[in-house]
Structure 1
């Protein structure tokens, strides 16, 4: 396993071990394994570890085709998979829209305040005054019972049969050439700011990588990382395309508009 670990970050070791355990469980028992919602980096790690294997297969699904956070279904090769096997529900927030404005952050904070882990629910979508979220069906009854207020607004949660809204969020993709994969360098290129400003943002604790605060300017970024800058939105490293003849890195990034 030490050979495997060296391709990933030290803090990802626990998740790597978990993926290996899932693979061995499916291989040994011929039974399927459904995971919680995984972020893009975790999906990348799982794909890298399981690879193309006819004996142990996997698929991702987050409730809609373009979901960011997805559950993984790991299963024996003979298994016929359906969307229902992912056990994902779609829920809409009903609130007094004429008087109150809700946003993604408020919904996320309210759900988290109930004591649920982030990996039990997927994307939160907002289009105009409509807000929906995807969630693991096993915690559905708890959400119906406990989520009755977001901010100062009294709310009710309605399950939707199959009508996900298109999110207002749009990703703008671009290709960049950077001198290194350091966090400060990637931020400067993605947001078109100076490297000094990106270093200041990191040192002020305003940057998260895969939803964890990072304060080291030399932190090395990897494929599928999601970077969050307080007040400036998110970007993601879609692909690391390799090096140029001048020994610079070519990367593809997505910036949330």
Structure 2
């Protein structure tokens, strides 16, 4: 049985990369640290590495409750600590009397300095404070090139992870049965919208799966998918259970509040 059949066709390239990481650890008996991964990618890594082989894996995003995390694949003799994940926290100082920073503005400005999204972790915001996490190997480059958010001039301060804004996002799990694992079916059930309204949301580009806009109502969801819909919120397909006698799927959704 091919490992690829358990995942989406478009995930093949990432799966090959995970297999390469795993092989490296097993052959060299040395750890391998990845860039920041989204929740779906973390699920794929955990699924492939498993729990019982010579290669182990841990995830850490710099703070408790982080959404984006680096993975450390390592041989079973190693006992990793947080320092080995090589994560840097920056606080953004800006003229708060005149401007207001937002998550999209900060992310857009970070992308504008020529680095890929995978080098950055979560963006943390609390009232007038703004921080972001990044891979330590690019910290000097970021400090050198990141001077503006939009038109506003900003200054970065390197901080220890203990100074991070604490994420207070609460989660709540609920069990459902759905007629299929189509995006519109799951979104309709989770939001109590009609199937038709759920389809319109998707077709209008207002729904993301794993941070990417999906405009097909028939898109097939898989375990570990993170779903966000405008005016509805965010949820994670935490688990997919057995089918009922009426061929409905038992699922567990984790809602973020």
Residue-by-residue CA offset, 1:64-90 (whole Å, 9 max, x unaligned): 121111101111111121111000011
Partner of 2:66: 67
Matches of 2:203 and 2:83 in 1, distance apart?
Answer: 44
Partner of 1:130: 129
Partner of 2:51: 52
Q: 1:73-112, aligned counterparts within 5 Å?
A: 73-112=72-111
Moved >4 Å (runs of 4+):
none
Residue-by-residue CA offset, 1:154-197 (whole Å, 9 max, x unaligned): 11111111211123644443332211110011111222322111
Q: Does 1:194 align with 2:194?
A: yes
State the SS of the aligned residue for 2:124: strand
Partner of 1:114: 113
* Count of matched residue pairs: 256
Unaligned runs of 5+ in 2: none
Partner of 1:252: 252
Distance 1:114 1:233, change over 3 A: farther
Distance 1:107 1:14, change over 3 A: same
Q: Which moved more, 1:203-212 or 1:157-166?
A: 203-212
Alignment check: 8 A CA contact 1:124 1:133 kept: yes
State the SS of the aligned residue for 1:235: strand
Q: Does 1:27 align with 2:26?
A: yes
Residue-by-residue CA offset, 1:73-129 (whole Å, 9 max, x unaligned): 111111121111000011111111222211211111111122211110111111111
State the SS of the aligned residue for 1:6: helix
Matches of 2:115 and 2:189 in 1, distance apart?
Answer: 35
Alignment check: 8 A CA contact 1:226 1:236 kept: yes
Unaligned runs of 5+ in 1: none
Matches of 2:108 and 2:147 in 1, distance apart?
Answer: 13
State the SS of the aligned residue for 1:222: coil
Cα drift, residue 231 of structure 1 = 5.0
Matches of 2:227 and 2:252 in 1, distance apart?
Answer: 14
What is the TM-score normalised by the length of structure 2? 0.93
Partner of 2:35: 36
